[in-house]
Amino acid sequence: MAENWSFLDTSKPNFRPLVVIELAKGTKEETITWFTKRIVDKKGNGGAQLLVKPLLTEKGDENIYLVGASHLRLLLGAEAVGLVKECNDNSMRTFTYSSRKTFKDFADDNHNFLTMAECQYIIKHELENLRAKDETEIPGYPQAKLYPGKSIVRRLLTSGILVQIFPLHDREELKKLRHSWYGRVKVGYQPLDEIRCYFGETIALYFGFLEYFTFALVPMAVIGIPYYVFAWEDYDKYVMFATFNLLWSTVILEVWKRICAIMTYRWGTLLMKRQFEEPRPGFHGVLGINPVTGREEPVYSSIRRQIRIYLVSLPFVCLCLYFSLYVMMIYFDLEQWALDYHEENESNFSNLMLYVPSIIYAVVIEIMNRIYRYAAEFLTSWENHRLESSYQNHLVLKVLVFNFLNCFASLFYIAFVLFDMKLLRQSLATLLITSQILNQFAESLLPYWLQKRHKKRMKKRMCSVKTDMDMSLAEQVTLEKEMGAYFGTFDDYLELFLQFGYVSLFSCVYPLAAVFAVLNNITEIYSDALKMCRVYKRPFAEPTANIGVWQLAFETMSVISVVTNCMLIGMSPQVNALFPDSKMDLVLTVALVEHLLLAIKFIMAFVIPDKPRDIQIKLAKLEFESLEALKQQVRATGVYNSEK
């Protein structure tokens, strides 16, 4: 085995630092020696065959290492992670080293064939796949147990020896990206391909979705404006608006799938094969035999997990939901009090006071959402899921249910218990606008300001105020390692999801919501871009082919909004006036219209293909080729599956 890797030279010609490893202060020397040896060691000896260099800082008391790799090593790594690249004939194919010449822009001396983000992703993958062989513990730390096959980096992380691993920014590239992204005032699309090259597919896809969603809301906003301007209150106009909204939201979600397929095909992630999932870092249990892999690894009984989920997490979530409803009732008391106050002493002040309970409630909702978020993360982590995907699903489910209720319960209550459409409109507006302002502030501007202050202080400490460009590597690393970590797109999608709820759930009552959403999203694009480029550490690229569970979440919301809008219209006095003497006709008509709309939605979702025709043909072509290749192999050797 080792022979095939022997041509990789571990000496360091033009070493380019890609990833930073920070070890805890005071890590034992033997541990550092062992760990760095494993990183540079040959594949045959169980190493990662990467390059490592300690970072020499001015103070020199920090254990920071820079990791890089030779060009050849990265190409072999690209094959190992199953990267998909464009070929000379414009088709997308899985990269293999042996077929490297057939790929577009490939040349042995072209070090830009792989983007920096791809290189960093490959290094992260190789580091995470450094596995213990016969070690039973990390040298120097007898309490940090290892077993054959355990990922060394994950154990180092969980035992606190490894503080963090993060990819370095490329200051020049970043400057270019910033300029084309938000550096100049322009009307146009975001440079999604460049974002993808720099930050990876997951983040580019989020910005793509944000941009698409904003454009998709424009028709709703445009149609919504005259309702506000001319104060249309006619029932038939609202019905028209609601119907348009409901069908439109189905169309935009279906079309997004197609656009997403086009983008991810171009990026290669649509074709990437799913890798076998390893246990997540936090997973623990007693050593046993994994029934799937047959390897020794921690095993945790699924029954105990089920007990934790159904006997602890579920009741806790229900309790939180109850608490949220309780807070909501307090809000209504406050609202009533403000109304009474306004009636008693009518003045400009008391008029303003009418909005105070809503604003307070909006702030409280935001705070509760954030606290609950931590609780949900703690609980889901305690449930001890083996796979990251299962952890994510349970977390998303918990958070979505709570946030949905927390944000929309009061609106449901006003609409379907109090039947107060005026209050509904007012609450909706206050909640939407307050939450948008809070979000923009808490998410981007506050961290940006903190980061700026911190940077200044750092620079002062370094006793020299330089521009960004001529900072030394040591300074850059010191600066970046203190930056906050970006925790993924979860919160950003959640924000969009709730916004979609505000826009669509009660769209027949408050058509102006779409206008606010569009305005918010335009600034959101810029503040999120700022956040990515200026505030946070560079995140590792994560290849992905779609927005995952969020597609389902948005679709569910659009189904729920059919129900709420139909009920709102069914309860409106105008509709009730149409059926003066027959309850039954009313029930039947409303139900019929609702189910008709739902049926149309499902038929539309079914009829609109998820992938455009040309992508479908390209995918079918690849599948056909691989089946043909398999057949050829069988014909040539009589075997396509080696002896087991």
Which residues contact a copy of itself by CB under 8 A?
1, 4, 43, 76, 79-80, 93-94, 96-99, 102, 275-276, 291-294, 302, 416, 419, 563, 567, 570-571, 576, 579, 583-584, 586-588, 590-591, 594-595, 613, 617, 620-621, 623-625, 627, 629, 634-644
Say which DSSP state 166 is in: E
Q: What are phi and psi of 604, to 5 degrees?
A: -60, -45
For the CB of residue 624, give the shortest distance to a copy of itself in the complex, in Å. Answer: 5
For the CB of residue 411, give the shortest distance to a copy of itself in the complex, in Å. Answer: 16
CB contact at 8 A, 402 and 321:
yes
For the CB of residue 226, give the shortest distance to a copy of itself in the complex, in Å. Answer: 29
3-state helix/strand/coil string of 463-474: CCCCCCCCCCHH
Q: Which is nearer to a copy of itself, 1 or 465 (CB)?
A: 1
Question: Cα–Cα distance between 181 and 188 in angstroms, integer?
Answer: 10
Task: Name the amino acid, one letter, at 432.
Answer: L
Token representation of residue 539: 């995140």
Q: Which is nearer to a copy of itself, 72 or 519 (CB)?
A: 72
Q: Which is nearer to a copy of itself, 112 or 642 (CB)?
A: 642
DSSP output for 105-156? T--TT-TTSS-HHHHHHHHHHHHHT-B-SS-SEETTEEEEE--TT-BHHHHH
Q: Which alpha helices (DSSP H) does 482-548 contain, by range? A: 490-505, 513-530
User: Which CA distances in Å does 635 have to 134, 632, 638, 640, 642?
Assistant: 42, 5, 5, 9, 15
Question: Cα–Cα distance between 195 and 178 in angstroms, integer?
Answer: 10
Those residues whose C-beta lies under 8 Å from the C-beta of residue 239, and which sit 6 or more positions away, are: 508, 569
Q: Which is nearer to a copy of itself, 47 or 139 (CB)?
A: 47
Q: Which is nearer to a copy of itself, 111 or 621 (CB)?
A: 621
- Rounded to an integer, what is the distance from CA 125 to the centroid of its chain? 19
For the CB of residue 428, give the shortest distance to a copy of itself in the complex, in Å. Answer: 20
Q: Which is nearer to a copy of itself, 93 or 237 (CB)?
A: 93
Q: For residue 161, give the nearest of 139, 131, 129 by alpha carbon.
A: 139
For the CB of residue 242, give the shortest distance to a copy of itself in the complex, in Å. Answer: 16
Q: Which is nearer to a copy of itself, 1 or 185 (CB)?
A: 1
Q: Which is nearer to a copy of itself, 240 or 627 (CB)?
A: 627
Q: Which residues pair with 23 in a beta bridge?
A: 63, 162
Q: Which is nearer to a copy of itself, 93 or 258 (CB)?
A: 93
Question: Cα–Cα distance between 150 and 123 in angstroms, integer?
Answer: 18
Q: Which is nearer to a copy of itself, 49 or 430 (CB)?
A: 49
Token representation of residue 389: 């995907």
CB contact at 8 A, 184 and 163:
no
Q: Which is nearer to a copy of itself, 116 or 562 (CB)?
A: 562
State which H helix or E strand residue 174 sits in. helix 171-178
Q: For residue 493, give the nearest of 232, 243, 207, 260 by alpha carbon.
A: 207
Q: Which residues pair with 19 in a beta bridge?
A: 67, 167
For the CB of residue 209, give the shortest distance to a copy of itself in the complex, in Å. Answer: 24
Q: What are phi and psi of 198, to 5 degrees?
A: -90, -45
How many Cβ atoms sit within 10 Å of the Cβ of residue 290? Answer: 14
How many Cβ atoms sit within 10 Å of the Cβ of residue 315? Answer: 10
For the CB of residue 597, give the shortest distance to a copy of itself in the complex, in Å. Answer: 13
Q: Which is nearer to a copy of itself, 354 or 590 (CB)?
A: 590
For the CB of residue 167, give the shortest distance to a copy of itself in the complex, in Å. Answer: 25
Ranges assigned E (strand) in 181-335 = 286-289, 296-299
Q: Which is nearer to a copy of itself, 185 or 577 (CB)?
A: 577
Q: What are phi and psi of 36, to 5 degrees?
A: -65, -35
For the CB of residue 83, give the shortest distance to a copy of itself in the complex, in Å. Answer: 12
Question: Cα–Cα distance between 532 and 450 in angstroms, integer?
Answer: 14
For the CB of residue 46, give the shortest distance to a copy of itself in the complex, in Å. Answer: 12
For the CB of residue 102, give the shortest distance to a copy of itself in the complex, in Å. Answer: 7
Nearest 5°: the CA angle 365, 335, 434 is 40
Q: Which is nearer to a copy of itself, 446 or 592 (CB)?
A: 592
Nearest 5°: the CA angle 559, 522, 436 is 65
For the CB of residue 609, give the shortest distance to a copy of itself in the complex, in Å. Answer: 11
Q: Which is nearer to a copy of itself, 346 or 623 (CB)?
A: 623
- Rounded to an integer, what is the distance from CA 545 to the centroid of its chain? 12
In angstroms, the first-to-last Cα distance of the chain is 20
Q: Which is nearer to a copy of itself, 48 or 479 (CB)?
A: 48
For the CB of residue 628, give the shortest distance to a copy of itself in the complex, in Å. Answer: 8
For the CB of residue 535, give the shortest distance to a copy of itself in the complex, in Å. Answer: 37
Dihedral through CA 366, CA 372, CA 373, CA 378, nearest 10?
160
For the CB of residue 92, give the shortest distance to a copy of itself in the complex, in Å. Answer: 12
Q: Which alpha helices (DSSP H) does 308-445 contain, by range? A: 314-344, 348-353, 356-382, 388-413, 421-440
For the CB of residue 396, give the shortest distance to a copy of itself in the complex, in Å. Answer: 13
Say which DSSP state 44 is in: G
